[in-house]
A and B are shown apart, each in its own frame.
Chain A
Amino acid sequence: MEQTQATEMAMQHLQQLVDNIETVIRGKRNQIKYILTALLAKGHILMEDNPGTGKTVMAKTLAQSISGAMGGDSSVGFKRIQFTPDLLPMDLIGSHIYDEDKKEFVFKKGPLFTNVLLADEINRASPKVQSALLECMAENQITIGDTTYKLNKLFFTIATQNPVEMEGTYPLPAAQLDRFSIKIIFGYVDETTELEIYNNYLGIANNLQHIQQVLSMQEILNLQEQAEQVTIHEELVKAVRNIVWETRRHPEIILGASTRSGINFLKCLKAYALVNGRTFVTEDDIFDLTIPVLDHRLMYRNKEAKANALPGILKTEMDRLHKLRITQ
């Protein structure tokens, strides 16, 4: 009973969160869900698209919704780093600075020591910086010299990147992309929504200024725990296994998905179900998540394969599930 109540509560909170974000970001419900999925799955998200599609605003809104407008102590910390080619690792993690008073070097924490980090245009920084960030994301800790600094318990990175083809970018290596639970293409809004935004941009900007904090840090941590409790049917676990295996076997895929990505897939599925107001995973979740979760981890033989291979695998698995007869 308690469990159910907690779940109900969690769902309510999530709904509030989504609604809150929607006051600022229009027509991006799916993207919001993916971001929340990554958050609840204790992962990180990478958003890719052309500049000006609302990636940064989205990240900011989310951060503010859970941290309040520019924070307080009990609330969630939010930092934003704009990645540039001349950025250095120490700009991220911090550095030892000589303290004149104490006559020693003290560590000055960089922007990574926060809860929600917006890493804007991540692929414009040099590989050195990229790998510094991604390592932190993976380990949740930073080691400088002899000292290891723990990052916060809640550490969520929203990274954005411009399409790889654009000039002045350092593409992220596949191994590093693997650190992101989900990668989504942000995309333009549809025509109607676009018009709505034009008509109302002042109001929207205003909304951004006055975004309400709807969730506390503790609540987020609770939600993450709730996500772990979501039921996933054996057959769906099998489906995840099948999809992962197929990516390894597919003749057009050079590098398939790892076991780690499979585990991550499961986590995301559970979180996504919760975000959608369910306490159980369904085929729909697999359908929605396979590409955002797996696509960026795979290396394809050519462009055509990139377009077709994973959807083909997914289709097969969906058709298998569709005919599956499961009775309780």
Chain B
Amino acid sequence: MMQLKQYTFRKEAALYLLLGLPTIAVVGYAIFEANQYFSFLQNGWRMQTLEFALGMLAAFSLFLRRFRFLPISLVLLAIVAGTGLLVETQLTGEMDAYFWSVKFYTAALFFGTGWIAGYGFARARFFSVVWSVLLLAAMAVVVATTASLQSNMVIALYAPTLAYSFYIIYISELLRNINTREPALFWKVARRMLGFMALMILLIAGLLYWLKPQYEGVEKEWSQQQPKEGNNKGSGMTHNDGSGTTTNQGMGLSAFNNKANKDSVVFVAKLDNFFVDGKTPNPLYFITDYYSKFDIETQTFEVDSLRPFNDLFSPDVSQIPLFFTKQDTSVLYSANNGRMRRTATVEVYKKQLSARLFTAPSTAYFVQPISVPDENKDVYRSAYRAKMMVSELNSAYFVYNPAGAQWLEQFQEERFRILREAPDYSQTNAAFMQYYTSMPYGEEYDSIRALAASIVTETGANTTVDKAIAIRDFFMRKDENGQPTFKYSDNPGVPGIPSANKLTYFLFDNKKGYCAYYAGATLFLLRSLGIPSRIATGFMTIDRSNKNPGWYWFYEDQAHAWVQVYFPGYGWIDFDTTVPDAEQQQAPQPDQTPPLATQTAWLVANGTVVSKDTAAKKVTMQLEKMLYWDQPYELNPTQPWLMDVSMAKITHDTGVVSLSALEKGQQIVAVSYANTFKEIEPTEADNATTLLQRFPTPAPIDEIKIMLTEEEKAALDKQAVPDKPTDWNAVWRNLAIGTVAAIVLLLAFPWLIFRYLRLRAATAGKPATQQYWRYLSMMYYLHQMGIEKTGLSPVQFARQQVDAQFGTQLESFMQVYQKLKYSKQALNSRDLEIAAACYPSTLHTVSKQLPFKHRFSHMLNLRRSISFFSKPSLYAS
């Protein structure tokens, strides 16, 4: 009896240490990952891992003894259900009932998962396989939904789980068959563990080293315990891809996140928006997207590409040929903003910003890619000019930074006065109102409604703008000690607008957050007051320069989120309610010298090269369309057109090239800044043909840009990180490739082992060692082919099962090998001859007699090869 106890104790200890701990670690990692992306988990991965661990260990300790699964689990379920009911009834009406019940159910979920896992490991033989598959699948889901999928990043994410899978299958098989009475058992096990750990460390170190050049961020993440952050599509701002550009997805949501680099310029813009004095620059926030639709499922606001009254102009700038324009005036109609608006232009010089991205103050409707001046080519990758209808009431100086400037206070007072007189929403389109004020019902939303109502009642605000100001003041309130009630916090959260329960937690309990929290909470408050509003994301504009008025520098940490409120007739106006970060001691960056102003491109012509005369520096192109004095003209049919390129700078994607690079058939864009064209002003009557006749021949050209062919574009696209939401095709493709590769590797594994054994046999130096590897490779091969040596002695096995079936001479080899193994005598030359002859002939004969189909299918069987190496089972009959 004593012995039996000892036996179970040791085995149990081994199970806890070798199966339990790694599993908890890996699951903890998975939960940590999941917490980053599923808001209902509420950032409690430590607690959740603990719950899982408890469940698993409890199940382990019960089911290793002879408890039965069903009765105990039923009892457990009853307890959970009972407690759940209690929680629900007890907490009704309380503020955070939802919060606690969600907490409770997640706890139950994780405990239950752990429970089942514990049961599986304790009782079910092949559970480790099932478990690995499930875990890999879960990882696949996380990877597929979150990563912006660079194949090597996928591998980095998969590798630990994959390695764990191998480990867990191996170790569970090992433990199942382990002879716990074996002397030095723990040393043996420890050796295996150490080996595995060394392998893991090597793997991870190798991966990190490999990824380092491309992903500087990875290292940072590991050290900050925030894996994958930089790879996450949501935190685009901090993500550099191979080409060094920045993507824009969810921009601003991680703003002021301590990971955003304060020294890293994203782009530079020149905005010609000034106050009435015409001298003081009026900065405006730059918008990339709007979050307007409440998603019931994720309980959060999301980008809605199908939003009604869409006033977002978001062209893919990289797809527009240089100097050609794209405009969409329908957004102006949708913006519905006739009053106090004027046209402003902005020039954006991109540094890290993705070439595709368009960002501008609202409401933009026009974009034209422009060339970056030569002197600045090494700093800025691309540039565009945009036009927008800006509101004269709009300004980045809205909430808390009049900074004592009297003119600014006056401006604010003035604009509040105007907005107070704005008409109410009775005339506003019902569908518009319905969409932009929609807010779900439910306990926690009711609590927000109550809060909004109390804020308004307290301040007595009755106009929209006063209500907005009241909400701003609410966030700025100070407690009795003079401390602000709401604080700014870099709380590392997952980018994206926080979910509803996080927001209620923020509003009522925590009162700490970064911009997305303030924006989200403000939006709820506004909407519960029936004010049409939405979250805008983009860049906060800070005016730091008095040297170059109108120029603004945008650093990574300026990514931002705020709200926009709709005023009938005046359109959408920016409101920013984020409180200042008390702890942030950000010295204003001294802005650098702005890029030189671009010359005016009078003529931009687009067509195909027909011929070139290198000596005379003349090029003829088949002219297809042109842009003259910002007016587009189409040539139909196309016309040959002679150009003087003696002064022209010819550029390709790779940089400046010589005239010889210009080839027939290439698509080019020719630009002229020549004064000749300044003098030929187009009239209403002109069309393309008449204009061409008025142009000098050959026409002086200053710049030629060779357009990329489709293949080149595709090649470039491959390098760039897709900054579309998620390219699902790519996701699934990569996933499929990864999975197939993993499967192929997995399937080829037994064969690789066989090759390895044969290699060792072929390269062994000492005859004794050689016999060992020969023996092992033959036994392995036979085992893999389904001819297993189960408990027979080697000679018996050779005689009865191999030689009898295949007519081989394995028995004589076995006798030699046995002699080698046990006799303490050296092998004589005859023995060696026998061994040398038997080894190839046995393998050859066996493989010749087995049909290919049999050999192939058996060679793929990984489980079989694991069973070859795993320990024999103790009492199997």
Q: Does A212 contact B (CB under 8 A)?
A: no
A312 to chain B: closest residue by CB: B875
B769 near A327 with CB under 8 A, answer yes
Is A95 among interface residues, defined by CB-CB distance under 8 A? Answer: no
Contact yes or no, B874 A284, CB < 8 A: no
Determine whether the beta carbon of A280 is less than 8 Å from that of B791: no
Q: What are the interface flags for B809-831 relative to A under an 8 Å C-beta threshold, 1 for contact and 0 otherwise?
A: 00000000011111111100000
Find A280's partner among B3, B181, B768, B823 (CB 8 Å cutoff). Answer: B823
- Say if the beta carbon of A259 comes within 8 Å of chain B: no
Interface residues of B in 742-778 (CB under 8 A from A): 766, 768-769, 772
A286 close to chain B: CB less than 8 A = yes
Please determine whether A328 and B877 come into contact, CB atoms closer than 8 angstroms.
no
Given known pairs A249-B3, A284-B795, A308-B877, the reply for A315 and B790 (CB within 8 Å) is yes
CB proximity of B175 to chain A, nearest CB, Å: 15
Question: What's the Cα separation between A223 and B769 when bound, in Å?
Answer: 34
Q: Which residues of the partner chain B approach A249 to less than 8 Å between Cβ atoms?
A: 3, 181
A169 to B789, CA, bound (A): 40
Chain A minimum-CB-distance residue to B766: A327
Residues B877 and A279 in contact, CB atoms below 8 Å apart: no
B73 within 8 A of A: no
Instruction: Determine if A282 and B791 form an interchain contact, defined as CB atoms under 8 angstroms apart.
Output: no
A250–B7 Cα distance when bound, in Å, is: 12
Q: Are A325 and B825 touching (Cβ within 8 A)?
A: no
Chain B, 830-877, CB within 8 A of any chain A CB: 871-877
Cβ contact of A287, chosen from B790, B792, B876, cutoff 8 A: B792
A284 CA / B797 CA spacing, docked (Å)? 10
- In the complex, per-residue mask of B220-260: 1 if CB is within 8 Å of any chain A CB, else 0: 00000000000000000000000000000000000000000
- A-chain residues with CB within 8 Å of residue B872 when the two chains form the complex: 315-316, 319-320
Checking B3, B818, B820, B871 against A283 with a beta-carbon cut-off of 8 angstroms, the contacting residue is: B818
Residues of chain B within 8 A of A326, CB atoms compared: 821-822
The residue from B790, B792, B821 contacting A233, defined by CB atoms under 8 A apart: B821
The answer to whether B791 and A314 have CB atoms under 8 Å apart is: yes
Question: A73 to B484, alpha carbons, bound, how many Å?
Answer: 121
A288-B793 in contact (CB<8A): yes
Assess the A328–B874 pair: CB atoms within 8 A: no
Contacts of A308 in B (CB 8 A): 877
List the B side residues contacting A232 at CB < 8 Å: 822
Chain B: which residue is nearest A327 at the CB level? Answer: B768
Asked whether B179 is an interface residue with its Cβ less than 8 Å from the other chain, the reply is: yes
A318 engages B875 (CB within 8 Å): no
Q: B779 at the A/B interface (Cβ < 8 Å)?
A: yes
Asked if B676 lies at the interface with its beta carbon under 8 angstroms from chain A, I say no
**A308-B877, A312-B874 in contact; A284/B791 too (CB < 8 A)?**
no
Given contacts A284-B796, A316-B872, contact A328 B820 (CB under 8 A): yes
Residues of chain A with a CB closer than 8 A to B874's CB: 312, 316
Q: Tell me if B632 is interfacial: C-beta within 8 Å of chain A.
A: no
With an 8 A cutoff between CB atoms, is B794 at the interface? Answer: yes
CA distance A250 to B791 in the complex (A): 18
B822 CB to nearest chain A CB (Å): 4
Q: Does A140 contact B (CB under 8 A)?
A: no
Query: Do B823 and A231 have beta carbons less than 8 Å apart?
Result: yes
Interchain CA distance A281-B818 in the complex, whole Å: 9
A-B contact count, CB below 8 Å?
Answer: 93
Q: Which residues of A contact B779 (CB under 8 A)?
A: 322
Q: Is the CB of A279 within 8 A of B823?
A: yes
Q: Are B790 and A284 in contact (CB under 8 A)?
A: no
Q: Mark A110-144, 1 if CB is under 8 A from B, else 0.
A: 00000000000000000000000000000000000
The CA of A279 and the CA of B181, in the complex, are separated in Å by 32
Closest chain-B Cβ to A300's Cβ sits at a distance in Å of 13
- Is there contact, CB below 8 Å, between B818 and A284? yes
Residues of B within 8 A of A88 (CB): none
A236 at the interface (CB under 8 A from B): yes
- Chain B's closest residue to A308 (CB) is B877
A292 at the interface (CB under 8 A from B): no
Chain B residues with Cβ below 8 Å from A262 are none
Q: Does B796 contact A280, Cβ atoms closer than 8 Å?
A: no
- Asked if B819 and A280 make an inter-chain contact with CB atoms under 8 angstroms apart, the answer reads yes
Interface bits B1-30 vs A (CB < 8 Å: 1, else 0): 001100000000000000000000000000
- Across the interface, which residues of A come within 8 angstroms of B792, CB to CB? 287, 318
Contacts of B871 in A (CB 8 A): 319-320
| B791 partner residues in chain A, CB cutoff 8 A | 311, 314-316, 318-319
Q: State how many angstroms separate the Cβ of A3 from the closest Cβ of chain B.
A: 13
Name the A residues within 8 Å of B181 (CB-CB). Answer: 245, 249
- With both beta carbons as reference points, the residue of chain A lying nearest to B779 in the complex is identified as A322
The interface residues of chain B lying within 8 Å CB-to-CB of A245 are 181
Q: Choose among A313, A320, A325 the residue that contacts B772 (Cβ–Cβ < 8 A).
A: A325
Name A260-305 residues within 8 Å CB distance of B.
Answer: 278-284, 286-288
How far is A278 from B819 in the complex, measured between Cα atoms in Å?
A: 9
Residue of A nearest to B822 (CB): A233
Chain A positions within 8 Å of B819 at CB level = 278, 280, 282
Are B794 and A284 neighbours in the complex by a CB distance under 8 Å? Answer: yes
Known contacts A287-B792, A327-B769; A282 and B818 CB within 8 A of each other: yes
Interface contact B790-A282, CB-CB below 8 Å: no
B793 to chain A, nearest CB (A): 3
- Known contacts A311-B877, A315-B791, A315-B876; is-contact A287 B796 (Cβ 8 Å): yes
Contact A282 B876 (CB under 8 A): no
Contact between B822 and A281, CB atoms less than 8 A apart: yes
Q: Chain A's nearest CB lies how many Å from the CB of B527?
A: 71
- Find chain B residues with CB under 8 A from A235 CB: 822
Which of chain B's residues has its CB closest to A248's CB?
A: B3
**Given A280-B824, A284-B796: A327 and B772 interface contact (C-beta under 8 Å):** yes
Contacts of B818 in A (CB 8 A): 282-284
Are A328 and B824 within 8 A (Cβ)?
Answer: yes
Q: By the criterion CB–CB under 8 Å, are A312 and B796 in contact? A: no
Whether the pair B823, A250 counts as a contact (CB closer than 8 A) is no
Closest A residue to B824 by CB, please name it: A231
- Roughly how many angstroms separate A283 CA and B793 CA in the complex, as a whole number? 6
Rounded to whole angstroms, the CA-CA distance of A235 and B818 in the bound complex is: 13
Q: Which residue of B lies closest to A319 (CB)?
A: B872
Q: Mark A74-107, 1 if CB is under 8 A from B, else 0.
A: 0000000000000000000000000000000000
Q: In the complex, what distance in Å separates the CA atom of A327 from the CA atom of B820?
A: 8
* Cα A269 to Cα B133 with chains together (Å): 48
A315 to B179: give the CA distance in the assembly, Å.
Answer: 13
State A251–B875 Cα separation when bound (angstroms). Answer: 10
Q: Which residues of A contact B793 (CB under 8 A)?
A: 282-284, 286-288, 318
Q: Which residues of B contact A280 (CB under 8 A)?
A: 819, 822-825
The residues of B that contact A314 with a CB separation of less than 8 Å are 791
Q: In the assembly, what is the distance between CA of A236 and CA of B819, in Å?
A: 13
Most B C-beta atoms less than 10 A away, residue of A278, A282, A307, A314: A282
Complex: chain A residue closest to B789, CB-CB: A322
Among B789, B819, B874, max chain A CB count under 10 A is at B874
Q: A282, B824: Cβ atoms under 8 Å? A: no
A residues in contact with B794, CB < 8 Å: 282-284, 322
* Residue among B820, B822, B877 making CB contact with A312, cutoff 8 Å: B877
Pick from A231, A251, A316: contact of B873, CB below 8 A: A316
Whether the Cβ atoms of B822 and A328 lie closer than 8 Å is: no
Closest to A279 in B: B823
Residues on A with beta carbons closer than 8 Å to the beta carbon of B877: 307-308, 311-312
In the complex, which residues of chain A have a beta carbon less than 8 angstroms from the beta carbon of B795? 282, 284
Q: List 18 A-B contacts (CB under 8 A).
A: A231-B824, A233-B823, A236-B822, A249-B3, A282-B793, A282-B794, A282-B795, A284-B794, A312-B875, A316-B179, A316-B874, A318-B792, A319-B790, A319-B791, A320-B872, A322-B794, A326-B822, A327-B772
By Cβ-Cβ distance, the 6 closest A-B pairs, closest first, are A315-B791, A287-B793, A319-B872, A280-B823, A282-B818, A308-B877
Extra inter-chain contacts (11) besides given A279-B823, A280-B824, CB under 8 Å: A235-B822, A278-B819, A282-B818, A282-B819, A283-B821, A284-B796, A312-B875, A318-B791, A319-B789, A319-B871, A328-B820
